[in-house]
Each structure stands twice: as C-alpha cells, then as structure tokens.
Structure 1
Amino acid sequence: MADSLPTPIRPALLRRAANWARQPAGCRVLVPTLLLSAGVLTTHRIAVVNSDEELREELSEHMPAIRTTIDDQLRHAPAAAALGLSLVGVKGKHSTVNQALLFALTYTINNTLTSNLKNLTRVERPGGNGDFSSFPSQHTSAAFSAARFLDREYGENSGWYRAGGYSVATTVAALRLIKGNHWLSDVLAGAGVGMASTELAYWLYPLVQRVLVKGLQDRALVLPYYQSGAAGLTAVLVLR
C-alpha cells in the first residue's frame, strides 16, 4: 500500500504517524480502545460480562418512561460549542474555518465507521422490535466524537470545556439507555468509536489539507453545512 502512495505524500504520512505516536496514549489510543473492547465483550452475543440484560431489567423496573428527543440535538452540542467559541473570538487549536472542516471530516469518518459496524454486527435493539441496528449507538458515537473535538480544541484552555463536553456526551448515552433504544454494550462501543473517529480526523487532516486544499488554492471555496441532523461539505470550484 505504501508503494502506491505518491512520493511526496509518503514522508508526510510517516511524520504524522510519528508525531501522533508521541502524544499521550491515554486520550489517543487507550481510552477509545478500552471503551470499544468493553462494548464488544459485554454485548449479549458474547457476554463475557453479562451486563446488557441485567441493566435493561433494572432500568425497566426502576426508571420511569422518558419521552424526549433532546438526545438528537445534544449529540452535536459540544462541536457546536467549539465552533461558537471560535466565532466569538476564543482561540482554539485551529481557526474557525479549519475547525469547521475538521468537524466535517470527523463527522464523515464517524458516520462511516458507525454505520458499517451496524451493518456488520446486526444486533437487535432492546424490545425485540426487528430493528437490527443497535450496535454501536450512533447517537453516543456522535456525542463522544463531538466531545473529543471540543476537548482537542479547547481542553487545554480550561478543564470546564472538557468536563462540559463529556458530561453532555454521557447524558446522551444515558438517555439512549433509559429510553430503551440501546444496550449498555452499544453505548460503550459508541463512545469508543466516537473518540477514535475524532483522533483519526485530527491525524489525517494536515495531510488532507496539504493534498486537497493547497492543490485547489485560489480556485475553490469549501463550506461546511448542517441540515436535518446531517453535516457535510459544499465545494465551489472556480474554473479558469
């Protein structure tokens, strides 16, 4: 695979890998890996730890039914907060434009990984309603991806940004459990996939920026968009 990459890209990719490997392992690799592993090992198909059914029974018995869609909006709140902070002049790791592009890349990676895992695993949701798209939780994955995005941009400015982002993401995960949309294993794996998606986006972004953005310098405008729960990019190319 390495030989198929253009010669100028290979050294850049190796430099990115070396820099990424030097970062603290806890946030870059260990935490997402542990969360994803916990999700896999606790799913009721494997049940190394038989927690899915037990927690579902406890929640059904002791928690009142909650009818809310606030988790639909909360999952993107940490990322929106990061972009909002940048727009009002709070300096993060990247400029507002680069933050927007990073979030779009993060969202794309996260959505691709989560959707494909759902198709591969085919785990039925609690309640046995014939919906086999339970593992991992898309909402939880998006929420922790957004929380990690806020952490990467502003976590070093203040621990409150970090705490706020992960608190929102945890709230989303809890709501998915309480509402009966997911098993515990789904939200654990979703959190791991979400954080890993953001890390992968930050690792890839400098290379993507170098290859694509500079290649279209003064000829293209790339704008992020968000509509009806979907985020993406709109590209305008000026032909000469």
Structure 2
Amino acid sequence: MKTIVATLCFLLIVLSNGFGQKDSTAQKQNGSLLKKSIVPLSLMASGILLTDSGFEKSFNKTTRNWVGNDFDVPVDDYTRYAPIFLMYTADIAGVEAKNHWFDQTKNLAVSMVLTDLLTKFMKNNIYKVRPNGFNANSFPSGHTSIAFSTGSVLYEEFKDTSPILAYSGFGLATTTGAFRLTNNKHWVSDILVGSGIGIMMTKLVYHFDYLFKWNPFLKSNNITLIPRYSDKTVGIYFSKIF
C-alpha cells in the first residue's frame, strides 16, 4: 500500500514541476504549481508515514475512550457539502468572488469528480480495514477528500475578497475529518491523505482553469443558481427570467 501511494505522490511532484516550467505565462499569473502542491503533498506524505503505525492505533483508541464507544454523530454527511452552500449563498448576497457563478460551478464539479475518482481508485486498490471493522476500504477517507475539495473551491473563490469566508471552508472540512475519526469510520492517516487529495485536485483545476474558460452565461444577469440538499443528495436549482 505504501509503495502505491508513494508512487502517486512522486508522480504528482513530477507533474507539478513539469507543468510549472512549460507554461511561463500561466506560471506568472498563477505561481508555480509545485509551490501550491507543498501543503497537500505534505498532508499525503504524513498520512503515508502514519499508516498502520503504533501511534495511529493508539490515537484511535484514545479518541474512542474520550468520546465513548457508542459515539456516532453523522454530522460529517452534511459538513462535507457545507462549503458549497456557503459559496452560492455568498454569490446571492453579492460578495465579490474570483469567478462568475458558472465558472465556480464548473471548477467545483471538475474538482469533485477528480477527487472522487482518485479516492475511489485508491480505496479499491489499497486494502485497509476501517477501525470499526465494517470493510477494507478505509484508505483514504472519501468524506474528507470531498470536504477539502469543496472547502478549497470556497477558498480559491473568496481568498482575496473575504478571507474569513474563504478559510471557513477549511474549518468545515476539518470538522468533517474530525467526525470521521470520532465516529470510528477512519484512521488518522485516512484523514490526512484524503485532505491532501481534495486540496491537490482543486489546486490542479484552478491552476489550469485558463484552458477551459468557456462561459455562455458571462453576460447574463437574469439567471439564478441555488444549491439544494435533500435525502443525502446534492443538487442545484437553476432558473432563468425571460
């Protein structure tokens, strides 16, 4: 398992360095992708080092003793999507964002899809039993990777205009990871690698978003987009005034 994840991290470093050097224009505008990758790659590397370690097992045992063996609060099913709600609410409230709502939605969708695909690929190819013994798809945490993906999109959109709003996404993502631990669904290494994946995929999408800037609604002011959550399903209400 460690070999597979270590290889993945190595490829990400190589790609980051290569892309950063090839496109000088994008590099001047967005900065080096390798530099942007330091935090997510560090999180992933930390998770790899802690996997199946004595510290990880001890940390899980201590956490369960602290909250109680019967503790199971499914708030993490909702907090992973909360940054999406905050982003669109801020748009409706008129808070200035980096991108138009269509570009926000596009970047959000691509980030979540890439994050989900990579997370599921790793889950299906890495055998690691959950701390509650439910199955062997513990590594990495899907809830956490999605939470940090949505949180990263919120950060990218409002970091220059509303820092508190921007960083709140990471707060919600951290809360999601914390509840995955206290609910005994994941080990700490699952959380660290999941958070790294979510941040990394979003960084990639925003670094290369200049390659797919198509937006048919850029000049449309009579369109409304409102997020929707019902029965564990996330959706979007779309309306246009004629």
Q: TM-score, normalised by structure 2?
A: 0.75
- Which of 59, 75, 94 matches 1:70? 75
Contact 1:114 1:141 in 2 (8 A): yes
Q: Report the residue type matching 1:137 in the other structure.
A: S
- Which residue does 2:114 correspond to in 1? 109
- Kept after mapping to 2: 8 A contact 1:137/1:186: yes
1:12-27 superposed matches below 5 A: 14=23, 18-19=27-28, 22-23=31-32
2:97/2:157 contact within 8 Å kept: yes
Q: Deviation at 1:102?
A: 1.1
1:52 to 44, 48, 56: 56
1:33 is aligned, of 41, 47, 72, to: 41
Change (3 A) 1:20 1:33: farther
Q: Distance in 2 between matches of 1:226 and 1:200?
A: 26
Paired residues for 1:122-137 under 5 Å: 122-129=127-134, 131-137=135-141
Q: Partner letter of residue 70 of structure 1?
A: V
Measured on the aligned residues, the alpha-carbon RMSD in Å equals 2.8
Q: 1:139-154 maps to which residues of 2 (within 5 A)?
A: 139-154=143-158
Question: How many residues end up aligned between the 2 structures?
Answer: 206
Counterpart in 2 of 1:201? 205
Partner of residue 162, structure 1: 166
Per-residue Cα deviation, 1:189-217 (whole angstroms, up to 9, x for no partner)? 0110010011111123321335xx68xxx
- Structure 2 residue runs without a partner (length 5+): 1-18, 217-224
The answer (yes or no) to whether the contact 1:176–1:182 under 8 Å persists in 2 is yes
Distance 1:188 1:92 in 2: 28
Following TM superposition, by how much is the alpha carbon of 1:62 offset from its aligned partner in structure 2, in angstroms? 1.9
1:229–1:158 CA distance, 2 compared to 1 (3 A): same
User: In the alignment, which of 95, 103, 108 is matched to residue 100 of structure 2?
Assistant: 95
AA aligned to 1:31 is V
Distance in 2 separating the partners of 1:158 and 1:52? 36
Counterparts of 1:16 and 1:118 in 2: how far apart (Å)? 37
Question: Percent same amino acid at aligned positions?
Answer: 28
Deviation of 1:96 (Å)? 1.1
Indicate if the aligned counterparts of 2:84 and 2:227 stay in contact, CA closer than 8 A: no
Equivalent residue in structure 2 for 1:42, among 45, 50, 56? 50
Q: What whole-Å deviation, never above 9, does each CA across 1:105-129 have from its counterpart, x for those lacking one?
A: 1111111111111112121111323
Cα distance in structure 2, aligned partners of 1:199 and 1:16:
17
| Residues 150 and 165, structure 1, Cα contact 8 Å, conserved in 2 | yes
Q: Name the residue aligned to 1:119.
A: 124
- Secondary structure class of the residue paired with 2:118: helix
Q: Amino acid of the residue matched to residue 62 of structure 1?
A: W
TM-score (norm 1): 0.76
CA distance in structure 2 between the aligned counterparts of 1:41 and 1:229, rounded to whole angstroms: 35
